[in-house]
């Protein structure tokens, strides 16, 4: 079920907002059970079988983590085998539901057994890439002995299936959901209703009134004949989709954070005006923060310790970003998108360690921001294109300075430019002294929330699914 559907806004969310705190006053365990059941119903409302891989990942990692935490006499090798088993189960789920067709096509596997065809005919379970990372983080932290006490299965399953962030994050770490006694933190916190409602309204507005409307322009642009487009066309398309995916994904995070604050669990920010960054490295510290930090802590740091630190750590960097790319989608175009980001980060590392370049550019924020913007936006071509041929053609045209023909609708250039300027201005405003004044003004908050909600309800009939649902 979508957060931004009428049935969700009018029926499902009010139910949980009213009933959960009422039950919580009398018995928090029953309240958690209610929230767990609600989360599963909300997740599987349209496609019930989605809970099967969710349960497999949750049950297997709970069993493995229990062994790692409760049995202190386990040998080192057994602990390693248990952790490897957790990896194999979760990666196996991803390979089965997400990458089986990619693998069969890559190795040119011709089969009529029906298995690949059956899997390919299934819809990718929503959020499978997110909740497998979440269960893996619990297993890894259990292996590292960071978790001292095992929660009950109900509480653990709630941690995995917690509906506000289940489908597209932010990815929760165990310490963000459980206290030191492995009790859910949401049992101890007071509801932040006003703040949560405002974030929910802002998210709905950004999704329905900005992201979805911009997507209609982008869909038309990417259906155009790539060979007939010019330099300005392709850059407008790159910026157009870069803005769309930012609005779309940050909107989901706003909604998830808002709903969770109303329920009583504070979730960390997932986006902090990334397009205001002055380097690609800084961009990825501001974009999808929960994923970036997860990959850094559990993958990149591990590879960095195990592999030889050759040339600014290029080997672990490229491996990490290639995996990061393929995590986003079952196509080698996504791996190449990740590789491009890794290369840009490597270039930044080289420049950052060059004293001459560092002295010249360190204080030139406008130029640094412009270079970062163009670098990041160019990579979205491979993310959005539907084929290698289209992606390669469009990417080459980004650097074809001989063709300045305008082959797209005139209002497309205007819409993208306006949204870009508004985005950059919002990032600048967030850094200014006026930011806290605006945030702490109750009248402005009420007015902004009300306008956002009214406009969202007007545009709700034209809703699209969130882009990251496919991951």
pLDDT interval class at 122 (50, 70, 90): low
What does the H/E/C string look like for the chain? CCCCCHHHHHHHHHHHHHHHHHHHHHCHHHHHHHHHHHHHHHHHCCCHHHHHHHHHHHHHHHHHHHHHHHCCCCCHHHHHHHHHHHHHHHHHHHHHHHHHHHHHHHCCCCCCCCHHHHHHHCCCCCCHHHHHHHHHHHHHHHHCCCCCCCCCHHHHHHHHHCCCCCCCCCCCCHHHHECCCCCEHHHCCCCCHHHHHHHHHHHHHHHHHHHHHHHHHHHHHHCCCHHHCCHHHHHHHHHHHHHHHHHHHHHHHHHHHHHHHHHCCCCCCCCCCHHHCCCHHHHHHHCCHHHHHHHHHHHHHHHHHHCCCCCCCHHHHHHHHHHHHHHHCCCHHHHHHHHHHHHHHHHHHHHHCCHHHHHHHCCCHHHHHHHHHHHHHHHHHHHHCCCHHHHHHHHHHCCCCCCCCCCCCHHHHHHHHHHHHHHHHHHHHHHCCHHHHHHCCHHHHHHHHHHHHHHHHHHHHHCCCCHHHHC
Give the per-residue pLDDT at 358.
Answer: 65
What pLDDT does residue 443 have?
86
Mean pLDDT calculated for residue range 129-137: 94
Q: How far is 402 from 98, CA to CA, in rounded Å?
A: 41
Average pLDDT, the chain: 88
pLDDT at 3 over 80: no
Q: What pLDDT does 112 receive?
A: 47
First to last CA, the chain: 16
- 174 pLDDT tier (thresholds 50, 70, 90): very high
Q: CA 36, CA 235: separation in Å to the nearest integer? A: 45
Angle at 269 between CA 468 and CA 295, to 5 degrees: 60
What are the tens digits of pLDDT across the range 265-283? 989 999 999 999 999 999 9
Q: What is the chain's alpha carbon radius of gyration, rounded to the nearest angstrom? A: 23
Q: Which residues contact 432 (CB under 8 A, 6 or more apart)?
A: none
As a whole number, mean pLDDT of residues 6-27 equals 89
- Return all residues near 419 (Cβ < 8 A) that are at least 6 apart: 210, 214, 243, 247
Q: Residues 245-268: what's their mean pLDDT?
A: 93
pLDDT for the residue numbered 188: 73
233 pLDDT higher than 70: yes
The answer to whether residues 272 and 261 touch, using CB atoms and an 8 Å cutoff, is no
pLDDT digits (tens, 9 = 90+) for 354-371: 766 666 666 678 889 999
Distance in angstroms (rounded) separating the CA atoms of residues 447 and 188 = 31
The answer to whether residue 425 scores a pLDDT higher than 50 is yes
Distance CA 293, CA 284 (A): 9
- The CA-atom distances, in angstroms, between 145 and each of 3, 65, 150, 183, 343 are 36, 10, 11, 17, 35
- Taking the CB of residue 143, how many other CB atoms lie within 10 A of it? 18
Q: How far apart are CA 424 and CA 430, in angstroms?
A: 10
Q: What is the pLDDT of residue 119?
A: 57
How far is Cα of residue 288 from the mean position of the Cα atoms in its chain? Answer: 5
The model's pLDDT over 381-415, given as tens digits with 9 standing for 90+, comes to 999 999 999 999 999 999 988 878 888 888 999 99
pLDDT in tens, 374-383: 999 999 999 9
The pLDDT value recorded for residue 190 is: 66
pTM: 0.91
For residue 209, what are the CA distances in angstroms to 11, 204, 318, 458, 461?
A: 22, 8, 37, 9, 11
Distances (CA, A) of 121 to 141, 144, 288, 378: 35, 39, 30, 33
Name every residue whose Cβ is closer than 8 Å to that of residue 281 and which is 6 or more positions away in sequence: 345, 348, 349
Which of 95-104, 243-252, 394-403, 460-469 has the weakest average pLDDT?
460-469
Most confident of 1-15, 105-119, 206-220, 448-462: 206-220
Give the tokens for residue 326.
């393929």
pLDDT at residue 260 is higher than 50? yes
């Amino acid at each position: 079920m979508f957060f931004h559907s009428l049935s969700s806004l009018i029926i499902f969310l009010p139910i949980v907002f009213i009933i959960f705190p009422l039950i919580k006053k009398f018995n928090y365990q029953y309240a958690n059970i209610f929230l767990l059941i609600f989360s599963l119903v909300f997740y599987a409302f349209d496609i019930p079988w989605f809970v099967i891989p969710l349960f497999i990942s949750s049950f297997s990692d709970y069993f493995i983590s229990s062994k790692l935490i409760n049995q202190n006499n386990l040998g080192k090798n057994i602990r390693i085998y248990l952790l490897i088993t957790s990896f194999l189960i979760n990666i196996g789920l991803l390979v089965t539901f997400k990458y089986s067709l990619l693998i069969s096509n890559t190795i040119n596997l011709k089969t009529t057994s029906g298995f690949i065809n059956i899997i390919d005919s299934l819809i990718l379970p929503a959020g499978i890439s997110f909740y497998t990372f979440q269960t893996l983080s619990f297993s890894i932290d259990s292996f590292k002995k960071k978790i001292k006490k095992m929660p009950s299965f109900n509480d653990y399953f709630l941690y995995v299936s917690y509906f506000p962030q289940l489908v597209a994050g932010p990815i929760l770490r165990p310490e963000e959901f459980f206290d030191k006694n492995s009790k859910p933190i949401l049992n101890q916190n007071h509801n932040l209703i006003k703040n949560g409602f405002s974030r929910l309204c802002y998210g709905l507005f950004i999704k329905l009134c900005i992201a979805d409307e911009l997507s209609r322009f982008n869909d038309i642009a990417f259906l155009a004949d790539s060979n007939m487009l010019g330099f300005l066309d392709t850059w407008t398309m790159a910026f157009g989709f870069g803005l769309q995916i930012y609005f779309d994904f940050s909107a989901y995070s706003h909604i998830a954070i808002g709903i969770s604050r109303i329920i009583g669990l504070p979730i960390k920010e997932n986006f902090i005006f990334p397009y205001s960054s002055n380097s690609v490295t800084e961009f990825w510290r501001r974009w999808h923060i929960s994923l970036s930090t997860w990959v850094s802590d559990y993958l990149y740091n591990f590879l960095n310790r195990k592999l030889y630190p050759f040339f600014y750590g290029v080997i672990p960097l490229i491996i990490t970003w290639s995996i990061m790319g393929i995590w986003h989608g079952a196509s080698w175009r996504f791996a190449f998108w990740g590789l491009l980001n890794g290369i840009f980060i490597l270039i930044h590392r080289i420049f950052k360690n060059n004293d001459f370049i560092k002295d010249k550019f360190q204080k030139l924020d406008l130029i640094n921001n412009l270079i970062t913007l163009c670098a990041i936006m160019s990579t979205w071509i491979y993310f959005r294109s539907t084929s290698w041929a289209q992606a390669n053609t469009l990417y080459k045209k980004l650097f074809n300075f001989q063709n300045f023909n305008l082959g797209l609708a005139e209002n497309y250039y205007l819409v993208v430019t306006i949204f870009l300027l508004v985005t950059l201005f919002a990032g600048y405003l967030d850094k200014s002294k006026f930011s806290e004044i605006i945030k702490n003004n109750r009248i402005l908050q009420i007015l902004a929330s009300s306008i956002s909600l009214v406009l969202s309800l007007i545009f709700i009939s034209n809703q699209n699914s969130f882009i990251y649902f496919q991951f």
